[in-house]
A and B are shown apart, each in its own frame.
Chain A
Amino acid sequence: AQTVTQSQPEMSVQEAETVTLSCTYDTSESDYYLFWYKQPPSRQMILVIRQEAYKQQNATENRFSVNFQKAAKSFSLKISDSQLGDAAMYFCAYRSFDTGNQFYFGTGTSLTVIP
């Protein structure tokens, strides 16, 4: 089964600075989706960004961008100009095409933004 690893249980960043959250995954598939989700203290999980594996270009969404390294099976999230509202748990997720409709999530990284 695919696994998703987030090696940083906790991270902190100064407001207005940049932070990078790491995610690696294990797979033998060539086609898949990758996601970053954000879960603020209110608990509603929100999509941050999505990357299709067949696309070489890294996805960006305003202050959020990814560094997708397919060969290295790495999918890190960069948050630029961090804001207080960015404080949350961030989950990396993998969507498999070969093993049915399975989604695999990492254990999450808790991000603190320091004013």
Chain B
Amino acid sequence: ETGVTQTPRHLVMGMTNKKSLKCEQHLGHNAMYWYKQSAKKPLELMFVYSLEERVENNSVPSRFSPECPNSSHLFLHLHTLQPEDSALYLCASSQGLGETQYFGPGTRLLVL
């Protein structure tokens, strides 16, 4: 595997389910990001981690819970989501905060 990978690629869940999105970067980077991409809206930065510590949390609802166990892995734990949370969730990494980001292919999430 090279670059940034995300699993699963597609996810359908009910509002009462609990699921997790996984991101792994193979680039030796030390910063990782979660974004939400909705149709016709700008990409929304959700969380930023640097050296496994969360440095930004952009007023994201608590039903989204990130976890960064090491510099290569990033998770987004989901629980009691709403239909408006349906979107493409993108993970990215960079070597240094604010530097050029490399994106994963995304997880297409549908909340029923």
Contact = CB atoms under 8 A, between A and B. Distances in A.
B42 A44 contact: no
B103 A33 contact: no
A104 B56 CA distance: 14
Interface in B39-63: 40-43, 45, 48, 50, 55-56, 58
A24 to B, nearest CB: 14
A109 B16 CA distance: 36
B110 interface: no
A93 B35 CA distance: 13
What band does the interface of chain A fall in when counting residues whose beta carbon is under 8 Å from B? 20 to 34
A91 B43 contact: yes
B88 interface: yes
Nearest to B45: A103
Given A43-B88, A45-B90, A45-B103, A97 B98 contact: yes
A43 B105 contact: yes
Q: Would you call the interface of chain A mostly helix, strand, loop, or mixed? A: strand
B100 A105 contact: no
A100 B47 CA distance: 12
Contacts of B64: none
Interface in A10-44: 33, 35, 37, 42-44
Interface of B: 33, 40-43, 45, 48, 50, 55-56, 58, 88, 90, 92, 97-98, 100-106
